[in-house]
Structure 1
């Protein structure tokens, strides 16, 4: 039998980035300055798409045209309906030998406006909302909110709206009941204390001057919107307007080791994936970075990964080299880049410590997602897990592996299964997040950087 010291070398060690790669901490902090700008400029999927396109153009990417001749090193991109980004660098190998896909989503839990949102009640004007994705409704009242979106006006033109981000902008909020009158509310279960019908956004209280008019406060709000954006109440029916937190990304902690912000899920993986794609110069395999929409509501619709838009793009790339798409898909690999839950000592009862993933301990692999009996999951093969962990070891990347929490407590899903359903080997990997799906999520800068290094190594891998 080996000695205790020799046997201990056989153990799986889940150690911090600071301990395993202290030289990377300063680099992580520098990298995350760009990430914070990405967050502040992209509160919605449309804004992320627009900002990402600017970065791609600056890096020399050209719009993709189906049927064009593609040569090694060519950088191309395509925007799907202003909400999704597809960017690729053509490899030196034939596309028949497979793509290296890196897919993240850029939609986040939020509040959307209803088709007829504006109303007045007892001297206050409000917007009615419909929550998008898995929010905890009690977290959204009493915080500063901003209004973002696009309105397609009746005359055929469109206008972008952003109120609440500039220093002198007003902000908005959702009210909550004071504790002095909250005894009955306190008796309710947490999901019922604030209902969807309570999530009304406060807009104003000042009436127009004409005392004999009805809905005087609503009319003032509508008049202000009309003056600023040229819209009428009917235009809300053809609008996509989102209510999001108004605060900006900020360093967390005296050591500034973390970032607090809205939208880490999943822009914390989208930004490293995009940066890795942009910095990839002459890959062996053709690399493709996809920033997709609608993951938080099941990936359905023409901008969700359950549609064919990504795979049509890949098929068109194959056609440019006269390659059979089925052959290419079967040889491809995909990193489904999405967040997972960081172990939270304050709520330790829902986690299993040995299989938890921790903030500050590197990028996290999760072999399977889904719920309870692995329902609705991809469940990566042993070979795919081995490929990824070997890649990270060769490149000195700090990583960890685990599950979202205790088996019977709950679960979650990613886009991995939609890629795997196209006969592409896929594995989930991403940054652990504290307070996931809240208006103010928290991540470790070190983990963000390890995600970037992983995505970069994946794009550069020639084996």
Structure 2
């Protein structure tokens, strides 16, 4: 029996259900995010981006141990070692806090302290590397790489970039040609490209010198002012040189490196910008070194976050015992990404519990691996507060993948330990995570902003 009636299928995709105004918001936000990704790759750059943006809106730097006028509506930020910071707006009450914590470091390739490498008869100069964070090393071979250089000048950090302009050269890690790769093809995935094989092509001329390396050092000094003796005192970092791009004919997705956790950092600041007079003091914190275990003075295991919040309450003349109550009564969001459903590897996901592109930001009640090892699990009390504060259309409940196929952690457990409060992981799904070209959904970015905004506006 035939019918002319068109079947209507209910869609979970926010781009299919959004109003005209919401679609405009999604597009404008995505355009701004693409620009953010082009200009801010490192933790230092992302911290400076946020501060420059917030200073225009009246945010004032607070320093620990110094008096300052603090009242409801005060906009503040604290700096920490140039690679992390905390900012926020003082709330009307002194009963709780809302903290959205992200991380601004991304997997990449570092150069060793003594990295200029020239072996006899190799015909070029190469640079020795040490990778940063969890990566599939072979993905960085044959990829165009730009170089970020952090050095000191006049007592300040100078950031220089080679490879981000159309006329700039780039760098790359060569791979063995397929015609000679019979033995290489037998290697396990982790060793397709071994760590010590990740040498970077950096030049093939000697110029006026007897060594390739001497010509490279001369050109580097001409470009940056950095001499051979300066090299061990600087930070040299390599990032994929692919420009951020829309993915798909409908421009519904974004492809770029550094979206873990750049997308959450960007979304958290955009949400904070929308706050007017929150009931509870609301803060966004940028941590670094999450990809290597949240270690160091700029990582989530440091005391910076709790020190800064305590200092803020000291300025409000809140007693130490009341401070401990406020912190332990906080609602904390570990704003980090989850795994997006990958159609090519469907068996690695639990289809009932996987993030689907553009169906909302991802709420992960727990992370970890092998029996929730290393996890921070959100209790029902916290999930109830989320349910009351945030429109359910903006999020989906997810797990990283099938049980026992892998796993991963976030800053959640460290945030909870620092403040003695409950934490839940919330952030968009990402495909190709930790690769040179990660994929996210434009509507998931928008939904993340909405989620962070509404949780910070909770009553």
- Aligned: 1:433 with 2:416: no
Which residue in 2 is equivalent to 1:141? 141
- Aligned: 1:21 with 2:18: yes
- Aligned: 1:204 with 2:203: yes
Which residue in 1 is equivalent to 2:161? 162
Matched position secondary structure for 2:375: coil
Question: In the alignment, is the contact (CA less than 8 A) between 2:260 and 2:433 conserved in 1?
Answer: yes
Q: Deviations over 1:289-308 (max 9, x none)?
A: 11110100000100001010
Which residue in 2 is equivalent to 1:419? 415
Alpha-carbon distance in structure 1 between the residues aligned to 2:11 and 2:371: 26
Matched position secondary structure for 2:284: strand
Alpha-carbon distance in structure 1 between the residues aligned to 2:252 and 2:422: 34
Which residue in 2 is equivalent to 1:243? 238
Structure 1 residues 193 and 219, CA, compared in 2 at 3 Å: closer, same or farther? same
- 1:107 aligns with one of 76, 91, 105: 105
Alpha-carbon distance in structure 2 between the residues aligned to 1:269 and 1:21: 21
Q: Which runs of 5+ in 2 are unaligned?
A: 1-9
Which residue in 1 is equivalent to 2:5? none
- Aligned: 1:179 with 2:178: yes
Q: Deviations over 1:220-276 (max 9, x none)?
A: 110011122222223221111210011221111100000000101001111010111
Alpha-carbon distance in structure 2 between the residues aligned to 1:20 and 1:416: 32
Which residue in 2 is equivalent to 1:6? none
Q: Deviations over 1:187-242 (max 9, x none)?
A: 111111101111111110011224xx3xx210011001112222222322111121
Residue 20 (structure 1) shift: 4.2
Which residue in 1 is equivalent to 2:442? 445
- Aligned residue runs from structure 1 range 41-60, under 5 A: 41-60=39-58
Alpha-carbon distance in structure 1 between the residues aligned to 2:40 and 2:205: 32
State which drifts further: 365-374 or 82-91: 82-91
Q: Which runs of 5+ in 1 are unaligned?
A: 1-12
- 1:253 aligns with one of 248, 251, 258: 248
Residue 178 (structure 1) shift: 0.6
Question: In the alignment, is the contact (CA less than 8 A) between 1:336 and 1:428 conserved in 2?
Answer: yes
Alpha-carbon distance in structure 1 between the residues aligned to 2:317 and 2:411: 28
Question: In the alignment, is the contact (CA less than 8 A) between 1:365 and 1:401 conserved in 2?
Answer: yes
- 2:266 aligns with one of 263, 266, 271: 271
Which residue in 1 is equivalent to 2:355? 357
TM-score w.r.t. length of structure 2:
0.93
Alpha-carbon distance in structure 1 between the residues aligned to 2:104 and 2:93: 30
Question: In the alignment, is the contact (CA less than 8 A) between 1:350 and 1:409 conserved in 2?
Answer: yes
Question: In the alignment, is the contact (CA less than 8 A) between 2:143 and 2:172 conserved in 1?
Answer: yes
Residue 56 (structure 1) shift: 1.1
Alpha-carbon distance in structure 1 between the residues aligned to 2:49 and 2:42: 11
Q: Deviations over 1:36-61 (max 9, x none)?
A: 11111111111111111111111211
Alpha-carbon distance in structure 2 between the residues aligned to 1:204 and 1:149: 18
Which residue in 2 is equivalent to 1:98? 96
Alpha-carbon distance in structure 2 between the residues aligned to 1:184 and 1:139: 19
Alpha-carbon distance in structure 1 between the residues aligned to 2:73 and 2:87: 13
Residue 19 (structure 1) shift: 4.1
Matched position secondary structure for 1:271: helix
Matched position secondary structure for 2:448: helix
State which drifts further: 127-136 or 223-232: 223-232
Matched position secondary structure for 1:147: strand
Q: How many residues align?
A: 441
Alpha-carbon distance in structure 2 between the residues aligned to 1:276 and 1:158: 29
Matched position secondary structure for 1:183: coil
Matched position secondary structure for 1:226: helix
Alpha-carbon distance in structure 1 between the residues aligned to 2:278 and 2:149: 37
Question: In the alignment, is the contact (CA less than 8 A) between 1:299 and 1:415 conserved in 2?
Answer: yes
Question: In the alignment, is the contact (CA less than 8 A) between 2:208 and 2:215 conserved in 1?
Answer: no
Residue 337 (structure 1) shift: 0.4
Question: In the alignment, is the contact (CA less than 8 A) between 1:118 and 1:126 conserved in 2?
Answer: yes
